[in-house]
Amino acid sequence: MSLKDKTLLITGASRGIGRAIALRAARDGASIAIVGKTVEPQPKLVGTIHDAADEVIAAGGKAIALAGDIRDEEQVRWVVAQTVEQFGGIDILVNNASAISLTGTLDTPMKKFDLMHQVNQRGTFITSQACLPHLLQSGNPQILTLCPPPSLDARWFGPHLAYTLAKMGMSFVTMGLAEEFRGRVSVNGLWPRTLIATAALTQIEGGVRPEHCRSPEIVADAAHAILTRPNPGSGRFFIDEEALREAGINDLDRYSLVPEGQLQTDLFL
C-alpha cells in the first residue's frame, strides 16, 4: 500500500521528524499540509514551512504551507479549513508538534510549563478535534501522534516533571481518542527507540552527541509503515524499530548518524 492520493495534515512539519514524515509521504504522491510557526529563517533553527513545502513538491507530492500556532484554537481551525479547501478533505493527521524542557521543578518557569502543556497535550487535543469531522468522512482515517507509551513510572516524572506531564498528556489524549472513536478512526502513537537528531535536542543544554543518535528518517519510515498497513488497528503505541520490523525492514544501521555509534535510548523507554 502507499499514501498516493491521501491528504495528510502534519503539525511541526517545517523540520525534523515532521518534515521527514512529509517527505516520505511525498514520495508516494500524497498531498500534505505543512503546519508550523516558522515562516522566516531563524538563526538557530534551519528550515521554514515554505522550505518544507518546496521539498515535498520536489519529492513528488503536493503541498500547502500553513502558518499556524496550535496553541491558538482559531488558528488551528483556520489551518484545517485551508487544508480541506485546498485538497478536498483530510485522511491522516500527524500530531508531531511538541515543546520540550528537561528541567526540574525549581528550574521550570511557569511560562515554560504553560508552553509545553499548551503545545503538547492541548495542541494534540484541539488539532485532533478540529480534524475529526473531516477524518470521519475519509475511507481509512488515521491519527498518528508522536508520543511515548503511557506510563506512570515515577522515574520519568522525578527528573523533569513538567515535560513528562506534558508529553504523557499527548499519550493519554491518544489513548482516549482511540477508545472513543474505535471502529471509526485508527488512532495510534509512535515513539523512537533511540535519540533522534532534531533541532529540539540541539537546543537542550549540553546538546546530544551525533554517535548517540539516529536520523529522523527512521521515524518517518516507521510512520509510513504504520499508515500504509492494511489494518493498522487502534490504541497501539508503536516503537519505531518494532513498526519497521513488523513491516519486514530489519536493516536499521543506515539510520545511525555515526556508523557503529553508541546509540542512546530515548526517554520513557
What pLDDT digit, counting tens, does each position of 193-211 carry? 999 988 776 666 566 788 8
> According to the model, what pLDDT value does residue 260 have?
86
HSE of 217, CA atoms in CB hemisphere, 13 A: 8
Q: Which amino acid is at 144?
A: L
Query: Domain 7-194+218-245 is of which CATH architecture?
Result: 3-Layer(aba) Sandwich (3.40)
> According to the model, what pLDDT value does residue 82 have?
98
> According to the model, what pLDDT value does residue 45 have?
73
CA distance 239 to 85: 34
Give the active site residues: 163
> According to the model, what pLDDT value does residue 207 have?
65
CA angle 170/118/227 to nearest 5° reads: 35
Among 89, 34, 94, 86, smallest CA distance to 59 is for 34
Q: What's the average pLDDT block by block, 10 residues per block, for the chain (269 residues)?
A: 96 96 98 94 83 98 98 98 98 97 96 98 98 97 98 97 98 98 98 90 68 95 96 95 96 93 93
Q: Which amino acid is at 171?
A: S
- Sequence spans of domains, the chain: 7-194+218-245
Burial 243-262 (b: 16+ CB within 10 A, else e): bbeeeeeeebeebbbeeeee
Among 135, 146, 139, 133, smallest CA distance to 230 is for 139
Assigned C-alpha cell, 235: 490504541
Sign of the dihedral through C-alpha 245, 16, 91, 4: negative
> According to the model, what pLDDT value does residue 43 have?
73
Are residues 34 and 12 in contact, defined by beta-carbon separation less than 8 angstroms? Answer: no
Write the burial class of residue 41 (CB in 10 Å: 0-12 exposed, 13-18 middle, 19+ buried). exposed
> According to the model, what pLDDT value does residue 261 have?
87
> According to the model, what pLDDT value does residue 203 have?
60
> According to the model, what pLDDT value does residue 204 have?
63
Give residue for cell 470521519: 136
pTM of structure:
0.96
